């Protein structure tokens, strides 16, 4: 028996708010640094501690992509999750993916 995940209006609001925050705040900070402090990005690439966090983030993107696909949490596939993570951040991608839950097989799908 397969259970579908349903979110209350409050939960959907907070998922959407987290997605907006992840896209604008996290990406905004990255874009600001990229445009106005490009040498800081090069310093981050050569810093072993920062590199460890970047590698960890990439590993977690792969792990979450696998788990979301395996658990069938969303209508969006694992490729969408990876794309959204690279486009924004995981603080953006996770809420977006969760806001598109799998449809129950009994529901009619809109064309």
Segment-wise mean pLDDT, segments of 10 residues, the chain, 111 residues: 78 98 95 94 93 96 97 94 96 96 63 43
Cβ count near 93 (within 10 Å): 26
Query: Would you state the pLDDT for residue 111?
Result: 43
Closest CA to 104 of 68, 75, 76, 71: 75
> Is the CB of residue 6 less than 8 Å from the CB of residue 101?
yes
Give pLDDT, residue 85.
Answer: 97
Domain edges within the chain:
9-98
Q: Helix (H, G, I), strand (E, B), or coil: what is residue 101?
A: strand
Residue 110's pLDDT is what? Answer: 47
Residues 46, 72: Cα–Cα separation, whole Å: 38
């Amino acid at each position: 028996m397969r259970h579908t995940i349903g979110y209350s209006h409050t939960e959907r609001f907070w998922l959407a708010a987290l997605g907006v925050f992840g896209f604008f705040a996290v990406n905004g900070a990255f874009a600001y640094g990229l445009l106005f402090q490009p040498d800081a990005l090069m310093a981050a690439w050569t810093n072993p501690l920062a590199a460890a966090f970047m590698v960890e983030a990439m590993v977690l993107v792969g792990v979450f992509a696998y788990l979301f696909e395996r658990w069938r949490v969303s209508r969006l596939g694992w490729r969408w999750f990876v794309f959204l993570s690279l486009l924004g951040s995981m603080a953006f991608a996770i809420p977006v993916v969760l806001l598109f839950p799998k449809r129950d097989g009994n529901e009619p799908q809109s064309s």
